[in-house]
Chains A and B, each alone.
Chain A
């Protein structure tokens, strides 16, 4: 007869624990034999025996084990003390420890559990129960280790992916070099809420006087949003903005994004050209948070509304050209700043941000740093979304 596939699968899943090592600490020879037989019947072959607490502890310290079965009544250091000692060792903290208890001295096993037992089996030993419990704990241990390994591996990969994502955006050296070349003060921050995020920003040196700044935010966050930022980066290499008006260029980016992104995914976008010779700021926007323009003591929210990129073939965008004279500051930010809540649970919102920014922007360079310090004091952490902020000022 062919074996039932379900059984084979179950056995395959159980197989790994036959390699496990079990330490049995029991003063009675007949008990040790009985336990040894139980363990052998579920396929375990690597079994160590000790006759008293001290020997058991020494054995565990020397060779370790994947599971320990100990009798509460062993000479010298008793089973409870042995259990406590094992728990204090790093290798024993999460180990399955099964204590054989006697119902007469420890009803319900309360003392054993207090000493750190994972489980108890009552004496005299019932072989069926003993086998089931050992198997159950080893399987649990095996799954837990698998999960921990998986988790560790994933963490490592996410860390690597994060550094890859960070390499897409301008680093401090590039920011400083661009700032010096155009005679502006420039700061940028990029903080994904998880390891990875859907925010992106970059700089384009269009010509000697004109600097392009692009900020995009892909819907959602985490891995799928991050993958979209990589796709976007590739798209920018293929379709650079040189020679195009902001609206024209965003519409050019929209077309391939529409084909690339599934329904329900999109990117908000803000692209501006700072012209230091003309003293102007020309921009186009697709559903981005309203950038904040501060100049001559006055704060203006720019209209950056518009249908996000990747939704329709011809989205309605907003564009404008405004003065950007020496002394003016522009803050471009992701919605994490306005969607954050304060200590009372109220949305910080645009009015909250304007209040924080107008104060932080007084007193020269380091504006964004001061703004974020003030924001961190007010906003509840962790933030629910990726935070990106870029601040550009023309020296007065």
Chain B
């Protein structure tokens, strides 16, 4: 997995690409760091470049949610396609996150 963080008005956008699996746990830690330092209440995870996500990847989103909630930050999962989109649907992640096309 690769990612880049971009500051926007009122929050941040994190662009993910590649495959998000168990081996990305350490790297995801720095996404969490960015969330802890961010200003505003919007945190957009742009998943358009993500090709694949497994259960560990979904677990990382849940960890991010745990960090975001007490800060009144809402996480938006945006632009997922293909198998990533299907996995989010199966997991009913729209009950936990703002999921947008």
| Residues of chain A at the chain B interface (Cβ within 8 Å) | 217, 219-221, 263-266, 268, 287-290, 304-308, 311-312, 315-316, 335, 339, 347, 349, 384-385
Contact = CB atoms under 8 A, between A and B. Distances in A.
Interface stretch (B3-11, B37-45, B71-79, B87-95): B87-95
B96 interface: yes
B22 A264 contact: no
Contacts of A339: 52, 54, 83
B59 A266 contact: yes
Contacts of B93: 307
A217 B55 contact: yes
A307 B96 contact: yes
A1 to B, nearest CB: 43
A220 B22 contact: yes
Contact of A307 (B60, B83, B91): B91
B14 interface: no
A120 B89 CA distance: 64
Contacts of A384: 21, 54
B90 A304 contact: yes
A263 B90 contact: no
- What is the interface of chain A mostly: helix, strand, loop, or mixed? loop
B92 A287 contact: yes
Nearest to A338: B83
Contacts of A220: 22, 55-56, 59
Contacts of A308: 58, 91
Given A217-B55, A219-B56, A339-B54, A263 B92 contact: no
A264 B90 contact: no
Contacts of B21: 384
Contacts of A266: 55, 58-59, 62
Contacts of A312: 96
Contacts of A290: 90
